[in-house]
């Protein structure tokens, strides 16, 4: 199933990131874009999510230098845009893959595209990794570990359910029972023409 591969790639990304565990480390996509396109996209997508996860940790430091915080906020904004772009690339992959499928007359549309569901699966992989860290943290109290272990079990169940839902959706699209209709994310705050503050700077 598709999500078995996706979850394995997400685990690989997160493990690789934490070998150095710094947001400034260089990125190296281990999958060939031409020959392993979906693997390439999934790896890149999860790397963006992983770096941003740690950006969000850093910016919540109550003692962070205000100038550094502003710089980091800009990095988070750029990361968010890149994350959205990657989701659209993944959806483009599926649109191409299923372009020859003729939807059935009673086919229905899903509430979200495959890639936006995969986006949630990538974030879920990060939640599982870090909740597991907390459940096993040596200096944490027994109560903390128990609480985190309980939450971890919920996250693992959530990943199982979400993975099944994504796999089912892809089968439905392939069989013509569902059809894809992708809307571009028209983010206005990053656009020099649509954000009145940015427009006023021109």
pLDDT digits (tens, 9 = 90+) for 118-167: 999 999 999 999 999 999 999 999 999 999 999 999 999 999 999 999 99
* Domain parsing of the chain, residue ranges: 2-191
Which of 28, 160, 168, 187 is CA-nearest to residue 110?
168
CA distance 169 to 57: 33
Distance of CA 170 to the CA centre of its chain: 18
Instruction: Name the band, by pLDDT with cuts 50, 70 and 90, for residue 27.
Output: very high
Q: Which residue has the tokens 């910016």?
A: 59
pLDDT, position 128: 98
């Amino acid at each position: 199933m598709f999500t078995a591969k996706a979850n394995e790639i997400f685990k690989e990304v997160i493990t690789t990131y934490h070998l150095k565990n710094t947001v400034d480390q260089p990125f190296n996509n281990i999958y060939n874009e031409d020959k392993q396109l979906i693997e390439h996209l999934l790896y890149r997508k999860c790397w963006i999510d992983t770096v941003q996860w740690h950006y969000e940790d850093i910016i919540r430091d109550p003692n962070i230098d205000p100038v550094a915080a502003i710089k980091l906020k800009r990095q988070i904004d750029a990361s968010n845009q890149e994350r959205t772009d990657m989701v659209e690339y993944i959806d483009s992959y599926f649109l191409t893959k299923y372009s020859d499928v003729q939807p059935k007359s009673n086919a229905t549309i899903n509430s979200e595209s495959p890639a936006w569901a995969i986006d949630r699966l990538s974030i879920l992989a990060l939640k599982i990794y870090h909740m597991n860290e907390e459940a096993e943290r040596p200096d944490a109290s027994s109560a903390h570990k128990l609480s985190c272990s309980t939450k971890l079990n919920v996250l693992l169940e959530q990943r199982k359910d979400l993975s099944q839902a994504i796999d089912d959706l892809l089968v439905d699209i392939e069989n013509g029972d569902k059809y894809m209709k992708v809307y571009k994310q028209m983010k206005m705050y990053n656009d020099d023409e649509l954000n009145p503050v940015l427009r006023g700077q021109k």
